[in-house]
Amino acid sequence: MSLKAARYARLNETKLEISLFPFLSIFLCVMGVLSFINVLSSFSAPQKIEMTAQLEQGYKVAYQIFSLPDGIIRVPPTKHLKLLQQAVKNSKTVDQGYVEVIDEIIRQREQTMSRLERIVHSKKNSIMNAAVEPDVDDILDTMRNIRTLNEIALKTNYLYEEFLLFGIYPNGGQAYQKIRDVMTLTQDARAISIGLEPLDSNWTLNLKPRRK
């Protein structure tokens, strides 16, 4: 009996030993990998630039043209045009024919934005592939539309002015120079303010979805 009791007593004294080494090693590995991924992503993740269609400074609204080696991407503003149209409708002194003019410009611009969005969705957000060769007629149309809108806003006493903002990417100077050359051909361009900014190649364009 005493031997049996002594054996039971020894068994009770034996503690269950769990090795924590595998657990710790997995944790440390996960931590290391995560830190590595984090450091890598902070180095390689391209910084995005704001490329909403609604870049504005007070009442001045940017019609953005991004100049890339393969051509240009036009990002026309649409946000305030409905309000301008409403202001024309409310005005008793302004020609109501302008309502249709604005309507047509809105339609054209929404088509341009839809085309960009389609490219973004079809090519996995690579909007940089949306660049097209600058077309002389398109540039002249753009100048005419901007001038028309600015004049309508002026006649309606509505605080709104569009200007051209060029974003120049490395090796994108050629397309920019072509547009500026075309702009010298038209009187419409002389009345339009122009801004230009140099952009880095690792700045990708961020086209936010339109809110309807």
Partner 1 sequence: MKNLISLDSLTDIVSNSVGILIIFAVINLIHDNNKTFQLEIPIEHATELSPVFFISKDDRIIKLDTETIFSNAALQATSGTARNKRLFPLNYAGLLGKIDKDKGISFYARDTSNWEPFQSLDKRSSTLKDELSALNPKKQYAYFFVYDNSEDGSNIGSGFEAFRKAREYLKTRFVKTGWQPVNSDSPAHLCDRSFSQACTYLPSYLGGK
- Contacts to partner 1 by CB under 8 A: 13, 15, 17, 20, 23-24, 27-28, 30-31, 34-35, 37-38, 41-42, 45, 47-50, 55, 57-58, 60, 62, 67, 69, 163, 165, 167-174, 176-177, 180-181, 184, 193-198, 200-203, 206
CB 108 → partner 1: shortest distance, Å?
24
- Residue 161 phi, psi (nearest 5): -145, 125
Nearer to partner 1, 134 or 172 (CB): 172
The C-alpha torsion from 55 through 59 and 60 to 63, rounded to 10°, is 50
CB 34 → partner 1: shortest distance, Å?
5
Q: Is 180 exposed, middle or buried (0-12, 13-18, 19+ CB in 10 A)?
A: middle
CB 72 → partner 1: shortest distance, Å?
13
Report the b/e string of 166-178 with b at 16+ CB within 10 A: bbbbeebeebbeb
CB 116 → partner 1: shortest distance, Å?
17
